[in-house]
Structures are given as structure tokens and as C-alpha cells.
């Protein structure tokens, strides 16, 4: 049953060194505040899963907290490459990381299989694709009915998933709106789930088919206004495109990166996010 606790406590209780963790969000509702808290607590040796690792995984990799990344698109959306991830893959700085690379279809299926309690996901994919040759976790299976050869990948079952959502009600039921991405699957596939929300309300006021995570599927909820910034929260604030562009400059240089992380993450707290969305809020 979801308990409302401060983010620092939620991270300390649910993320441990050596864990396999997903901080999910498909461009929208990316849990930046939760990732920054994990960095502040210096929880390392992590295997990180994400369809679209972007700025937060770049930051966690650059801070030396990551041993492996399982992903399908590692880029700064609309901007370009992830420079800290590149530095780790190309030069081993600050440490070598292992990568397990998939396609979006594979990752989406793998999360869904994890949520469904299955050991693997089966789909029609990877035909002629080079990833099959470099990722031993991409295998095939023959349909017992038609004989068709299909792709198979292990399901995704994180120790803990972190997501950001618009709101929770006072009982801890969580509402996600807009581009819902893979967040529901990420929560249901994980052993533990931590949700940061913009606000807590008396009633979610959601239509019958809305994407709601009942409170008994969530381990902890922390209120962090602006907690997705520079990503966005549909109906609350816009994506801060300038920050994504700025990240490309910051991440290009190791010293600049470390200085930025000290000032904006290590020496900061979850409360700073409320300020960061000023000027971006919905009218």
C-alpha cells in the first residue's frame, strides 16, 4: 500500500546498490527529481533499464553509478547524442559500462511481459537487424501453431521502478495522463515502485478508462512539484526545450559536467524543481 514519504526516504528505502532499476518516461513525465535524489545518495553499481535513456541516465552514468544499461534509444530527444554515455562507451569514463541494446518494440514487449508475469516476450521483429548479432538476449522461438519464427527477449522485471505522474489522491491512487508511455508496465513489472507526483488531491476526477495505478501497486509516493523538469507534465507545465539544448553543452566536457552536477544536483534538494518550472506552467 502506497505510503506518502519524502523523496529522500523513498529513494533510500527502495533503491539499493546493485539494483536493477527503471526510471521510466517516454519523453513525457520523466522522473528527474527521483534520479537526482539517487545521485545525491550515491547509490551505485546499478543496472538501469529504460526505452529512451536521456539526460538523467547521462547524469547517472557520468557520476559513475552505473554498471549496465538496457535500452533501445540513447539520445537527447530532438538534440542529439548523449555525451556522458558516449564517453563511458567510447572511453570508459568514469567507468566502462555494459550495454544491452534492443529496439523499442522489443523493450515495450519486454516491459509488458514483465507486467504480465511472463519470463519472456514474443513478437515479430529484428528481421535482418544487426542487434541480433551483438545482443545474445535476442533469440527466436517457433510458433507451435504456424511454424513462424518469432523474436524472443527476456521480460523486464526491475527491482524498482521510478515514475513521475500528475497526481495522486489521498489514498495513494495515481493518475497518469497524456503520453502514458510505458509507465504502467514499468510499475507493474517491478518488485517495488516509487512515484513522484505534482500534487495530491481529494479526488482524481478521472474518466472510467483513465490510466490509474491503484494504491496497492505503488510502494511509495513523494510530492515533488516540477519533478519531471526539464521534461513536462501534461496539463501542468511545458517541456523546457532550452534546458535540453543546454545539456548538450554541459555534458560535452567532463569538468563542466561535474561542476554542473555539484551545483544543480549534489548541493540541491527536491524542492528546487518547483522553481525550475516557473514560466513554463500551463495558463
Partner 1 sequence: MTEFTSDEMMTIAAARALSNSDVCFVGIGAPSAACNVARLSHAPDITLIYESGTIGTAPEVLPLSIGDGILCDTAVTTVPVPEMFRYWLQGGRITIGFLGAAQIDRFGNINTTVIGDYHHPKTRLPGGGGAPEIASSCGEVFITLKQSLRSMVKKIDFYTSFGHGDGGDHRQRLGIETKGPTLLVTDLAIWRPDPETKEFTVTSLHPGVTREKVQETCGWTVRYAENLEETPPPTKTELEILRDLKARTEKAHGGSKKQGEAA
Report whether 71 contacts 52 (CB < 8 A).
yes
Among 6, 12, 73, 137, binds partner 1 (CB under 8 A): 73
Q: What is the DSSP letter of 91?
A: H
Query: Considering the complex, what minimum distance in angstroms separates the CB of residue 218 from partner 1?
Result: 18
State yes or no: residue 128 binds partner 1 (CB under 8 A): yes
Among 125, 158, 226, 270, which residue interacts with partner 1 (rule: CB under 8 A)? 125
CA–CA separation, 209 vs 199, rounded Å?
Answer: 21
- CB nearer partner 1, residue 97 or residue 268: 97
Please report how close the Cβ of residue 60 comes to partner 1 at its closest, in angstroms. 17
**204 lies in the site for partner 1, by CB under 8 A:** no
Q: Which is nearer to partner 1, 11 or 280 (CB)?
A: 280
Minimum CB–partner distance for residue 2 and partner 1 (Å):
21
Q: Is 59 in the site for partner 1 (CB under 8 A)?
A: no
Residue nearer to partner 1 on the CB measure, 144 or 279? 279
Considering only residues 236 through 265, tell me which ones interact with partner 1, judged by CB under 8 A: 238-244
Neighbours of 34 (CB within 10 A): 28
Q: Which residues contact 15 (CB under 8 A, 6 or more apart)?
A: 21, 38, 41, 43, 46, 160, 162, 194
Site for partner 1 contains 112 (CB under 8 A):
yes
Give me the residue label for grid cell 513521475: 164
Answer yes or no whether residue 90 interacts with partner 1 by CB under 8 A: yes
Q: Which is nearer to partner 1, 130 or 208 (CB)?
A: 130
Give the Cα separation of 18 and 2 in Å (integer): 24
SS3 215: helix
DSSP 8-class letter at 155:
P
CA nearest 232: which of 77, 8, 11, 50?
77
Q: How many C-beta atoms surround the C-beta of residue 96 within 10 A? A: 10
Binding stretches for partner 1 (CB under 8 A) = 26-28, 51-52, 71-75, 77-78, 80-82, 85-86, 89-90, 101, 103-105, 108-109, 111-112, 123-131, 134, 148-149, 178-182, 184-185, 211, 232, 234, 238-244, 279-283
Amino acid at each position: 500500500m502506497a505510503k506518502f514519504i519524502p523523496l529522500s526516504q523513498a529513494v533510500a528505502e527502495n533503491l539499493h546498490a546493485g539494483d536493477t532499476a527503471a526510471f521510466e518516461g517516454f519523453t513525457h513525465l520523466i522522473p528527474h527529481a527521483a534520479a537526482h535524489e539517487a545521485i545525491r545518495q550515491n547509490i551505485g553499481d546499478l543496472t538501469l533499464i529504460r526505452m529512451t535513456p536521456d539526460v538523467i541516465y547521462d547524469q547517472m552514468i557520468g557520476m559513475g553509478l552505473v554498471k549496465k544499461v538496457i535500452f533501445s534509444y540513447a539520445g537527447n530527444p530532438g538534440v542529439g547524442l548523449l555525451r556522458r554515455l558516449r564517453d563511458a562507451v567510447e572511453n570508459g569514463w568514469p567507468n566502462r559500462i555494459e550495454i544491452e541494446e534492443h529496439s523499442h518494440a522489443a523493450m515495450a514487449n519486454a516491459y509488458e511481459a514483465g507486467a504480465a508475469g511472463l519470463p519472456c516476450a514474443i513478437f515479430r521483429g529484428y528481421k535482418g537487424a544487426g542487434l541480433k548479432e551483438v545482443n545474445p538476449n535476442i533469440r527466436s522461438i517457433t510458433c507451435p501453431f504456424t511454424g513462424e519464427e518469432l523474436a524472443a527477449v527476456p521480460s523486464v522485471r526491475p527491482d524498482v521502478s521510478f515514475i513521475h505522474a500528475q497526481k495522486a489522491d489521498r489514498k495513494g491512487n495515481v493518475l497518469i495522463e497524456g503520453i502514458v508511455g510505458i509507465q504502467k508496465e514499468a510499475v507493474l513489472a517491478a518488485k517495488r515502485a516509487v512515484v513522484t507526483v505534482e500534487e495530491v488531491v481529494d479526488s482524481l476526477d478521472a474518466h472510467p478508462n483513465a490510466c490509474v495505478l491503484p494504491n496497492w501497486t505503488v510502494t511509495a509516493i513523494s510530492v515533488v512539484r516540477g519533478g519531471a523538469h526539464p521534461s513536462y507534465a501534461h496539463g501542468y507545465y511545458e517541456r523546457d526545450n532550452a534546458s535540453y539544448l543546454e545539456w548538450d553543452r554541459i555534458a560535452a566536457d567532463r569538468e563542466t559536467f561535474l561542476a554542473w552536477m555539484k551545483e544543480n544536483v549534489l548541493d540541491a534538494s527536491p524542492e528546487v524543481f518547483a522553481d525550475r518550472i516557473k514560466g513554463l506552467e500551463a495558463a
